[in-house]
Structure 1
Amino acid sequence: MSFFNARPSANAIQALEDSEVYYISLPSLEELFETIPKFERFFRILSQNGFELYERRITSQLYKTAEERYLEFRKRYPDLEQRIAQKQIACYLGITPAFLSMMRKESGV
């Protein structure tokens, strides 16, 4: 929302792997929406999908156990666990790396 409101964000994004980052200014994005109306629809669908993922993650944090969140993470992102550090996974799950290690040990992972 900070992008659309032209205010500093309370959140940050950290790339865990090599990435390419593209940037567009709000005036340029608005011009793109006016010039290519299908792009506005595409962006709306992309935003809806992003909001769904955000809502799912918040609900998971509120109502699921750490083990349930971990199993869901492994199911949703099967290859990611081998590519990123355990501390990043623990942070994503809202638990300590030590607790994640204990859960992995108990489940035989």
Structure 2
Amino acid sequence: MYELFFKKLNEKVSFTQEEQDIIRDYLTPKKIRKRQYLLQEGEVCKMIAFVEKGALRSYSVDEKGNEHIIQFALEGWTISDLYSFLTGEPATYNIDALEDSELVLISKSAQEEILKKCPKYETYTRLQVTGAYLAMQKRLTSIISQPLEERYNSFINLYPDIVQRVPQHMIASYMGLKPETLSRLRKKIAEK
């Protein structure tokens, strides 16, 4: 456990073995089954999850019961309700497993301790938050300005193996489409 976590960590900031050992002391491994919740709307998000193995999604449910997927997280990605995690306010998103998954959790208190003991971790955290913001901004720009076919291709580039791992209706939800619309779009792309 933690192999992929430390590989991704060191891709952003180079940590010594001693620093990695300090960080390791604050990590919590967790296995969750397919369809099991990691977080439910209304709870306070107390951790950030790194996906070692498996797939998760973050989503909200509207008043009609429709799911709106905000994020997928596959191996090497992190997932959380960052607003709730940082502010301590109730989460607006649900996070559940799409596959049996193995996670590395970092609680808020653990993160604060790591930040005290390992200053380079602050750089890593800043890069993670900046990356999340940039991804959100890019997605928003894509939704409001890219043609549908371009948006789908961007999605496939972002998540290359997702089509084999996630049901089409969830991909449609992520893209803000009805499943039938996505089906027509995929057919049109295949015909080219």
The one-character-per-residue Cα deviations of 1:57-84 (angstroms, maximum 9, x if unpaired) are: 1111111222221121123322211221
Q: Post-superposition shift, 1:21? A: 2.8
- Structure 1 regions of 5+ residues with no counterpart? none
Instruction: Tell me the matched-pair count.
Output: 109
1:66·1:95 contact (CA, 8 Å) conserved in 2? Answer: no
Q: How far apart in 1 are the matches of 2:107 and 2:189?
A: 47
- Structure 2 regions of 5+ residues with no counterpart? 1-82
Q: Name the structure where strand makes up a greater proportion of residues.
A: 2
Partner of 1:7: 89
CA RMSD of aligned residues (A): 1.7
Which structure's relative contact order is higher, taking Cα pairs within 8 Å and 6+ residues apart?
2
- Of residues 129, 143, 157 in structure 2, which corresponds to 1:75? 157
Q: How far apart in 2 are the matches of 1:79 and 1:25?
A: 29
Partner of 2:170: 88
- Of residues 182, 187, 190 in structure 2, which corresponds to 1:100? 182
Identity %: 38
Partner of 1:48: 130
User: Which amino acid in the other structure matches residue 132 of structure 2?
Assistant: G
Residue 56 and residue 14 in structure 1: after superposition, are their counterparts in 2 closer, same or farther (change >3 A)?
Answer: farther
The one-character-per-residue Cα deviations of 1:6-65 (angstroms, maximum 9, x if unpaired) are: 111112223322222333332221111001111111111111111111111111111122
